[in-house]
Structure 1
Amino acid sequence: MADDDVLVISTAAFIVIAGLSKRKKKKRWWTTKIYRNRLVTRGKLFLNDLMQEDGAHFRNFTRMSSDDFFYLLESIRDKITRSDTHFRKAITAEERLAITLRYLATGDSFSSLQYLFNVSKQVISKFVPEVCKEIINTLSQHVKMNG
């Protein structure tokens, strides 16, 4: 074989071997670990715990009774519900409403709410205005104006 042929074969073999021995990339997540564990650690479980108590804790937390909460939830559920994706579970309508009510009741910052519900402040800042809009649209029909 000529030197040129050996060089071409050696180069091709190197390229093939280098391509086969690539390291697998470490799996990347779109969210941090505390938010991935939201379904296990808090969120809906926290709301369920509040509702199982005597009712005063739930009322203090959301500033409304559980009956009023569920009435409002059923009124706006279809408009604030999002679908799960292959990458992550959607934040439930219950959690969206509870976070929004807690924000309206206390004026807590989104940073404070993110640790309470394990939902990132960026996501909270996107859905709170949407939920508020739907609350206004739903409850405006119950407000009677004297003119």
Structure 2
Amino acid sequence: MIVSECVVKKRTKLKRRFWIRPSLRNRNKYRGSDLIKELILDDADNINLEYRSDVGFTNFFRMTSSDFEDLLNMIGPKITKNDTKFRQAIPASERQAVTLRFLATGDSYHSLMYTFKISKQVISRTVPDVCEALIHSLRDYVKMPQNERDWEIIAREFQDKWNFPHCVGAMDGKHITLQAPLNSGSDFF
């Protein structure tokens, strides 16, 4: 009798506490598209100042607002989702913005969730989708080595120009954490 009660209690499904996290429920008050518009407007107000007018937007997304729009025109149709009866789809501009912020800063999905008011589960599906669209759309603009000889030429150029052996690429503006090998002394910082 006691055992059967325990089994019955285990089988009862726990009621979901909430469908959308309460802090994300007010997404319509302050959406990512509002953030994009505010950054563009802030930069427009600074046109007559001595420094570049696109500073805020460029600092946040690591590209100018015009480049952002050009990129959105290229990938927008590939990343646009349809609205449902339950909720409105996240606009393509916000999907692109989340992905670019992730790529530019390496912020965690958790951090991006609070910045853009989009759940981390949705972000975890959005970033790969947008990256795939970027790869597909930009393949004509970014040339990758096609064979082993091309890679060797690049490595030789790094060696000749920078005295950096066995290097086939470099990233700019991205801080990454490295684990120094044991007993490597001051070779790695």
Q: Give the TM-score normalised by structure 1.
A: 0.76
CA deviations 1:13-66 (Å, max 9, x no partner) are xxxxxxxxxxxxxxx852123222112123111111011122210000000001
Identity of matched residues, % = 51
How far, CA to CA, are the matches of 1:79 and 1:35 in structure 2?
26
How far, CA to CA, are the matches of 2:144 and 2:35 in structure 1?
37
CA deviations 1:70-128 (Å, max 9, x no partner) are 00001011110111111111111000000000000000000000000010001000110
1:103 aligns with 102
Picking from 42, 59, 84, the partner of 2:31 is 42
Cα offset, 1:143, TM superposition: 2.1
Q: Which segments of 5 or more consecutive residues in structure 2 lack a partner in the other structure?
A: 1-16, 44-53, 151-189
Which runs of 4 or more aligned residues in structure 1 lie more than 6 Å from their structure 2 counterparts after TM superposition? none
Cα offset, 1:145, TM superposition: 5.2
Distance verdict in 2 for CA 1:145–1:111, change over 3 Å: closer
How far, CA to CA, are the matches of 1:81 and 1:110 in structure 2?
20
1:71 is paired with a residue whose SS is helix
2:82 aligns with 83
1:37 is paired with a residue whose SS is helix
Q: Which segments of 5 or more consecutive residues in structure 1 lack a partner in the other structure?
A: 1-27
Q: Which has the higher contact order (CA 8 A, sep 6+)?
A: 1
2:60 is paired with a residue whose SS is helix
CA RMSD of aligned residues (A): 1.6
- Whether 2:20 is the aligned partner of 1:31: answer yes
- Whether 2:71 is the aligned partner of 1:72: answer yes
Distance verdict in 2 for CA 1:87–1:138, change over 3 Å: same
Larger Rg: 1
Q: Give the TM-score normalised by structure 2.
A: 0.60
